Chain A
Amino acid sequence: GPAKEKKAEAPAAGTTPVVNWRMTTTYPSNLFLIGTLAKRLSDTVRTISDGKVNLKLYEPGVLAPPFETFDAVSYGAVEAGWSTPGYWAGKEPALQLFASVPFGPPAREYLAWFDYGGGKEMFEKIYHKHNIHSIMCGLEPPEASGWFKKEIKSLDDFKGLKIRFFGLGAKVMEEVGAAPQLIAGGEIYQALELGTIDATEYSMPAIDEKLGLYEVAKHYYFPGWHQQSTFFDLMINLQAWNKLTDVQKAQIETACSSNIRYGISEGEAKQVAALKRLEAKGVHIHTWPPEILDGLHKAWDKVAADMAKKDPTFAKAWTSLQAFRKDYKTWSERGYLKE
């Protein structure tokens, strides 16, 4: 609390002022990866700054409700926020392209574009418009495609499917004739159980397993075409960021880099056991047949083209990512073994 922060400031009255920030988050800190990475960030920054940079973590809702994180940081009510850029589509549609893209790149390619393909510059420019400096600070492996009450055998089976879906993927669902629903988080389980909805997108096996959706929908689909890899970011109020010393900035950036690395390694490592346990519980694990994926991919291309027409910033980021991916093939198709 502020009391302790005040105390901590006194002995450090040397050359660099101690940084005591509040960091609000969109996920409970005990949620695998998406929450634990925020906790890890806070711990790492404190350690490598020798206790001089403190990001005190506040659970969602304690200060800001989860979806108010952006406004809270932008206005300077809190200094920092942990989230994914994908949540802020209502503020800037283009930010969705910096979280996860349907049929988008896997982690290594996504990072290559972000760091060396012009992604980062666009990303920072968009956020700066809103008085936020954001740092990519976590990366999560592919999500599952979701939980379905009935098997999906062809693209036609999506017609009339009541599915809870969020973000760009919801647009794709609409395109193939499904009816995306907005069910309150607290009512998903029961809505699925009672057939109010037929399916829901959720997260990855290590998270899904704990929430028990398999009790009410037995068909679990892969790959998660809508979310091949997902970025998480640390949003910082721009004035607060500008007040940091170069060392402090480097400390936060370094902690975020290390967070990305751990997100990938831990995320990749922990799915196997979870999948096995789910299978043992009688979950039918399916892989989308190529023709369904093709159909969804075509639908996405159309959605992306529509969105690019509506929003110039989205168009710019989308073109950049597409161009990078096209070029990247010259390398990836030669450099990697086909498994």
Chain B
Amino acid sequence: MQSLLNAARAFERLSSFIGRLGAWLIVALMLVIITDVTLRHWFVIGSTKLQELEWHLHGGLFLLCLGWAYTKGAHVRIELISERFSARTQAWIELLGCLMLLIPYVIAILHFGVDYTSFSYAFNESSASATGLPDRWIIKGAIVFGFAILGIAGIARALNAIVFLFGGDELGKQTPFSVHHEMEGAS
């Protein structure tokens, strides 16, 4: 059980690391937009590439943060009824949710997403706009990468739930399901 908890921690650290890094794309996005507006208005430069870069950054941003948002409990929940459940029931819901909803969904996206990206790579796909950006596989690959990280965050959550449910009091206290645990950003 201790090793499960350690694994959960490692997975959480990984998803948080990727998310925290990806978060800075928000600043890059802001700077690209400002550059685009400035260049177009005062220097009159064609900006298809910059405009495409804008949605590349926006896509990268949210995809890299999906998993981290789960780890931090930022995803919206309808807690109307569930908040009255005991900690054990909530952990069971979380475990079953991970195993039956999140992880299969992530696997399906990964399965089809790998095909989607590899076709793009194999045919050297570029922007449909003649003045746009090359290498579409990078941003398409970001979907696969982002969902993989979400999957890892999901596994971490499931492991935490298992430790809480079956690992006894001592270990259980160290999981986010315990009332003693300081849950950061939980909703």
Q: Known: A160-B44, A179-B46, A181-B46. Contact between A167 and B129, CB under 8 A?
A: yes
- A91 at the binding interface (Cβ < 8 Å): yes
Task: Write the nearest CB–CB distance from B154 to chain A, whole angstroms.
Answer: 25
| Residues A133-173 near B (CB distance < 8 A) | 160, 162, 166-168, 170-171, 173
Query: In the complex, A34 Cα to B47 Cα: how many Å?
Result: 28
Q: List the A side residues contacting B116 at CB < 8 Å.
A: 71, 75
Segment at the A interface, from B13-21, B69-77, B130-138: B130-138
Q: Are A180 and B46 in contact (CB under 8 A)?
A: yes
Q: Known: A71-B116, A90-B136. Contact between A174 and B46, CB under 8 A?
A: yes
Kindly identify which residue among B40, B44, B128 contacts A90, using a CB–CB cutoff of 8 Å. B128
Q: List the B side residues contacting A88 at CB < 8 Å.
A: 128
Q: How many chain-B residues does the 8 Å CB contact rule pick out?
A: 21
Task: Write the nearest CB–CB distance from A89 to chain B, whole angstroms.
Answer: 5
Task: Write the nearest CB–CB distance from B30 to chain A, whole angstroms.
Answer: 18
| Residues B41-65 near A (CB distance < 8 A) | 44-48, 51-52
Q: List the B side residues contacting A173 at CB < 8 Å.
A: 46
Q: List the B side residues contacting A71 at CB < 8 Å.
A: 116, 119
- B89 at the binding interface (Cβ < 8 Å): no
Q: Known: A71-B119, A74-B119, A170-B131. Contact between A91 and B48, CB under 8 A?
A: no
Judged by DSSP, the binding face of A is mixed
Q: Are A178 and B46 in contact (CB under 8 A)?
A: yes
| Residues A76-90 near B (CB distance < 8 A) | 87-90
- A130 at the binding interface (Cβ < 8 Å): yes
Could you mark each residue 102-135 of chain B with 1 if its beta carbon is under 8 Å from any beta carbon of chain A, else 0? 0000000000000110010001011111111000
Task: Write the nearest CB–CB distance from B110 to chain A, whole angstroms.
Answer: 15
- A116 at the binding interface (Cβ < 8 Å): no
Query: In the complex, A162 Cα to B47 Cα: how many Å?
Result: 9
Q: Are B47 and A90 in contact (CB under 8 A)?
A: no
Q: Are B126 and A90 in contact (CB under 8 A)?
A: yes
Nearest A residue to B36 by beta-carbon distance?
A181
Kindly identify which residue among B40, B44, B123, B130 contacts A167, using a CB–CB cutoff of 8 Å. B130
Q: Are A89 and B46 in contact (CB under 8 A)?
A: no
Query: In the complex, A7 Cα to B22 Cα: how many Å?
Result: 50
Query: In the complex, A277 Cα to B166 Cα: how many Å?
Result: 76
Q: Are B115 and A75 in contact (CB under 8 A)?
A: yes
Task: Write the nearest CB–CB distance from B115 to chain A, whole angstroms.
Answer: 7
Q: Known: A74-B119, A162-B40, A174-B46. Contact between A91 and B125, CB under 8 A?
A: yes
Q: Are B40 and A179 in contact (CB under 8 A)?
A: yes
Q: Are B128 and A89 in contact (CB under 8 A)?
A: yes
Query: In the complex, A65 Cα to B106 Cα: how many Å?
Result: 21
- A182 at the binding interface (Cβ < 8 Å): yes
Query: In the complex, A130 Cα to B119 Cα: how many Å?
Result: 9
Q: Are B130 and A179 in contact (CB under 8 A)?
A: no
Task: Write the nearest CB–CB distance from A329 to chain B, whole angstroms.
Answer: 28
Task: Write the nearest CB–CB distance from A65 to chain B, whole angstroms.
Answer: 12
- A328 at the binding interface (Cβ < 8 Å): no
Nearest B residue to A89 by beta-carbon distance?
B128
Q: Are A182 and B125 in contact (CB under 8 A)?
A: no
Could you mark each residue 56-98 of chain A with 1 if its beta carbon is under 8 Å from any beta carbon of chain B, else 0? 0000000000010001001100000000000111111000100
Q: Known: A90-B126, A90-B127, A170-B130. Contact between A179 and B119, CB under 8 A?
A: no
The interface centre, meaning the residue of B40, B46, B130 with most chain A CB atoms within 10 A of its CB, is B130
Q: List the A side residues contacting B125 at CB < 8 Å.
A: 90-91
Nearest B residue to A168 by beta-carbon distance?
B130
Query: In the complex, A314 Cα to B45 Cα: how many Å?
Result: 27
Q: Known: A74-B119, A75-B115, A90-B136. Contact between A179 and B128, CB under 8 A?
A: no
Q: List the A side residues contacting B123 at CB < 8 Å.
A: 91-92, 130
Q: Are A170 and B128 in contact (CB under 8 A)?
A: no
Q: List the B side residues contacting A74 at CB < 8 Å.
A: 119
Q: Are A162 and B128 in contact (CB under 8 A)?
A: no
| 4 cross-chain pairs, A with B, having the tightest CB-CB distances, nearest first | A179-B46, A160-B44, A90-B128, A182-B48
Which residue numbers of A lie inside 8 Å of B, CB to CB? 67, 71, 74-75, 87-92, 96, 130, 160, 162, 166-168, 170-171, 173-174, 178-182, 196
- 10 A-B residue pairs with CB within 8 Å: A67-B128, A87-B128, A90-B128, A91-B123, A91-B125, A130-B123, A178-B46, A179-B40, A182-B52, A182-B131
Known: A170-B48, A181-B46. 9 other contacts (CB 8 A): A71-B116, A90-B136, A91-B123, A91-B125, A92-B123, A174-B46, A179-B45, A180-B131, A182-B47
